[in-house]
A and B are shown apart, each in its own frame.
Chain A
Amino acid sequence: MAQLTRTERQIALALFVGLAVAGLLMVAGGRADPLGLHGALILGVAVFGSFGIISKYYEPLPGADRLREYYDDPSKFGVVAAMVWVAFGLFMGDWVAWLLVNPDLTFDAAWSSFGRIRPVHTTSVIFGFGGNALIATSFYVMQRTSRARLPDQLSPWFVLLGYNLFCILAVTGYMLGITQSREYAEPEWYADIWLVVVWIVYFVTYLRTLARRKEPHIYVSNWYYLAFILVVAMLHIVNNLAVPVSLGHAKSYSLFSGVQDAMTEWWYGHNAVAFFLTSGFLGMMYYFMPKRAGRPIFSYRLSIISFWGITFFYIWVGSHHLHYTALPQWVQTLGMTFSVLLLVPSWASAGNALLTLNGAWHKVRDDATLRFMMIAAVFYGLTTFEGSFMAIRPVNSLSHYTDWTIGHVHAGALGWVAMITFGSIYASVPWLWKRDAMYSARLVEVHFWLALAGTIVYVFAMWNSGIVQGLMWRTYNESGTLTYSFVDSLIAMHPYYIARAVGGLLFLIGALVGCYNMYMTIRAAPQRKRLASTSDMPAAVPAIAPAE
């Protein structure tokens, strides 16, 4: 707030008032519908925000010296938000895991049924945790690799706060029973429209920073972050094309139907994996890994090949989610073959990351933060291999609809996405809050081993469970009929479900240790006296008039 100029304070206040009006209209229009509750939530947020602005409106205005440092306050907020979301999201995930072990754990409430808390888990970890971490690190990385400060103080806050409002609308909506029933795109039309607004501001902010860069070349990380922002906008808009029942209802109906609907959903779904969970996090990896290892990127040329390979091939592969369905076979063929092709640039990325560590392996041994990133690259390679393999039709006929898919997703989500994020956050927290190091290197070590053990237990449990399940479903007896009933396969999976829930619990405990460590770092670790060098400053700006 102290960094906001007078004009920005005025615009922020106007935005909050506008938001309050929108919330009020939703309350009025949707009073007979859960939409009204969301209207009230928005109204509450807006009123709270307005008072926040008003109470600090007359605080001293920032001087021109603010321009001599990167604007990291939004990144700080994003990192903290990511950790809050991950603790909540992993808790919900482990609850869902125990719910599958013991179906009575809903405690007879509607909001806690499997169909509602499962998307609460996925949205909290993917969008709450992953999204906040991506936005926070993208602002951080973009400013430094461009040697340019963010163009203004307001838009990054609009992006982060607006994005978190979207996540809260999504998660509370599921518990109220509001859903589009599109996997990973469950929020209804009004939340979707809000996200479009937020995302466009994000994109524009990014381009404006890029346009102000003082480096002649754009660093790899920014290619990936830009691909992430641009493609996610495209995916989100197309997949969520829908007509609401009325402006006073939360419910809407998709523009697509039948197999086109399924194809649109999985074109979105798989590219969410590609451009949200892969591209953005590769951007993170390409900055934080060489930075932490103190090594140059292994090969600039390999970076280029992998970037364009991943970006071009990924767009095609969504149909591999619909093998052996009503989807025409030629579409399945394209999805499968491009999935196989995709393996090469994926492994090139993982290889480029691991080879970058050549000459720094002793640091990997001693530094759990760097080890987080190294293991992430290993899991990235593992998961992309598994993904291409599972996309091959005959393999898919065994793996599809089984827990193998869940195991694959979590090898990616826990092993790759969460590990690279934890590594990057552990690297950036001391930099952001200007500390010498994390509060406790030992606790980072504890977190690392809990996370790795949790991931391995989880993934092995689901591999076993999935393959057992898949084989049981296709086992015939001598009479030529199915040997097992569906319930038989559930009983066979029970021990694996327990193992999975235990693995998830280990991962959750690790994340909580991480939260504590970060809290103590921010609160208690010794403050660094001054910037070590000018390398953490934007390029000298020509003298401009101080903020009005």
Chain B
Amino acid sequence: MGIGERDPHTGHMTTGHEWNGITELNTPVPRPVYVFLAAAALFAILYWVLMPAWPTGGSYTKGLLGYDQRAAVAESLREAALGRAALTKKIAAEGFDAITADRDLMDTVRQTGRALFGDNCAACHGREATGNKGFPNLTTASWLWGGSPETIAETIRVGINSAHPDSRTSQMPAFGRDGVLPRIEIENVVAYVKSLSEPQSARGHEAAVAAGRKVFASTCAACHGEQGTGNSELGTPNLADQFWIYGGDSETLVKTVWGGRQGQMPTWEARLTPVERKILALYVYDLRRRQ
């Protein structure tokens, strides 16, 4: 052991060791360190006494407060459900018409529906429900399977082309790839379909549109209707309005007729409660009503 020297700056002695020029002062541990250590230890011991803390072989010390995190979660879930009970009961019991007429209930639907929609539907339909390529805009008057709250709720329940036994099913055949229509007829029918929503597009292509009209009547009208306005019983879109799921330009339309389409929407029956689905249906219905 070396002999300590006094540090002129602090007045403390060094320990007398020296490593590569480094020395250490023998300063006593400042009192606050002990005070805080004691306080922290006191807190820990108190917490151990009150809460589940130490293992005892097969079990553990339960703590004087008898607190259990699982029971606490169950209790707060029960309380939360109780707080919502009055409103949820009403929404579950009332018919769609009665709810849409009830201002207070619709406020709840809008509040709750927003987050429900954001967490479950927005990934495909967009945060504002205005759709994406392949996923319909829900804020328009154009509905594949009907736009009443009841039919929307049913679509949410069973999905479209989903695994649900009652799933809504619909498929547009691949007219080109499967050799039903030759290329020229596809181009003609596309010209005709385009003229339904954009009459001015027919100008200069009158012959093609006229030929396309015949193809449409024999091949497409069975599902899309004589006027091309769609059929919500079959889930076929209206081709005469301004709204398109995959796009209304000629190139996309040719692609659609050539290769067919079969959009999918999952079933939500197992993932959302009936009340949640009802709220979502009303929320979606309300989006358009508010516009």
Contacts and interface: CB of A to CB of B under 8 A. Distances in A.
Nearest to B86: A480
A81 interface: no
Nearest to A388: B40
A477 B60 contact: no
Contact of B69 (A298, A329, A358, A483): A329
Contacts, number: 150
Contacts of A378: none
Interface residues of B, number: 54
B115 A481 contact: yes
A480 B80 contact: yes
B20 A337 contact: no
Interface string B1-39: 100000101100011010111111111111001001100
B53 A535 contact: no
Contacts of A478: 111
B261 interface: no
A236 B108 CA distance: 53
A483 B114 CA distance: 8
B204 interface: no
A305 B29 contact: yes
A296 B14 contact: yes
A359 B10 contact: yes
Nearest to A326: B70
A338 B24 CA distance: 29
Contact of A305 (B1, B33, B80): B33
A344 to B, nearest CB: 5
A330 interface: yes
Interface in A281-334: 287, 290-291, 295-303, 305, 309, 324, 328-330, 332-334
A485 B37 contact: no
Interface of chain A, helix or strand or loop or mixed?
helix
Nearest to A306: B33
Contact of A535 (B21, B67, B117): B21
A75 interface: no
Given A144-B19, A297-B25, A302-B29, A483 B87 contact: no
A145 B69 contact: no
A520 to B, nearest CB: 27
A479 interface: yes
B26 A484 contact: no
B51 A333 contact: yes
Contacts of B19: 144-145, 215, 217, 219
Q: How large is the interface on A (under 10, 10 to 19, 20 to 34, 35 or more residues)?
A: 35 or more
A545 to B, nearest CB: 28
B242 interface: no
Nearest to A356: B25
A270 interface: no
B54 to A, nearest CB: 7
Nearest to B60: A330
Interface string A130-162: 000000000000001101000000000000000
A333 B33 contact: no
Contacts of B22: 145, 219, 287, 290-291, 296-297
A341 interface: yes
Contact of A300 (B25, B54, B84): B25
Given A348-B33, A481-B112, A486-B119, A300 B26 contact: yes
B9 A483 contact: no
A533 to B, nearest CB: 9
A479 B87 contact: yes
A481 B109 CA distance: 10
B44 A338 contact: yes
A217 B17 contact: yes
A267 to B, nearest CB: 15
- Most chain A beta-carbon neighbours within 10 Å: one of B10, B33, B44, B117: B33
A303 to B, nearest CB: 7
B47 A147 contact: no
Contacts of A485: 114-119, 122
Contacts of A303: 24
Contacts of A296: 7, 14, 22-25
A482 interface: yes
A484 B114 CA distance: 8
B60 to A, nearest CB: 4
B33 A302 contact: yes
Contacts of B15: 300
Contacts of B47: 333, 336-337
A503 to B, nearest CB: 28
A390 to B, nearest CB: 16
A337 B52 contact: no
Interface string B226-244: 0000000000000000000
B27 A301 contact: yes
B166 interface: no
Interface in B166-206: none
A340 interface: yes
A487 B122 contact: yes
Contacts of B75: none
A180 B112 CA distance: 40
Interface of A: 144-145, 147, 215-217, 219-220, 287, 290-291, 295-303, 305, 309, 324, 328-330, 332-334, 336-338, 340-341, 343-344, 347-348, 351, 358-359, 477-488, 535-536
Q: Which 10 A-B pairs have the closest CB atoms?
A: A485-B118, A359-B9, A299-B27, A337-B44, A480-B84, A300-B24, A145-B19, A144-B20, A297-B24, A296-B23
23 contacts: A147-B20, A219-B22, A295-B9, A296-B25, A298-B27, A299-B27, A299-B30, A300-B15, A300-B24, A329-B69, A333-B52, A334-B53, A340-B40, A348-B33, A358-B9, A480-B80, A480-B83, A481-B112, A482-B115, A483-B115, A485-B117, A485-B119, A488-B118
Interface of B: 1, 7, 9-10, 14-15, 17, 19-30, 33, 36-37, 40-41, 43-44, 47-48, 51-55, 60-61, 67-69, 80, 83-84, 87, 107-108, 111-112, 114-119, 122, 127
Given A295-B9, A479-B107, A481-B84, 15 more contacts: A145-B22, A219-B19, A298-B27, A303-B24, A329-B67, A330-B61, A333-B47, A333-B52, A340-B43, A344-B40, A359-B10, A479-B84, A481-B116, A485-B115, A485-B116
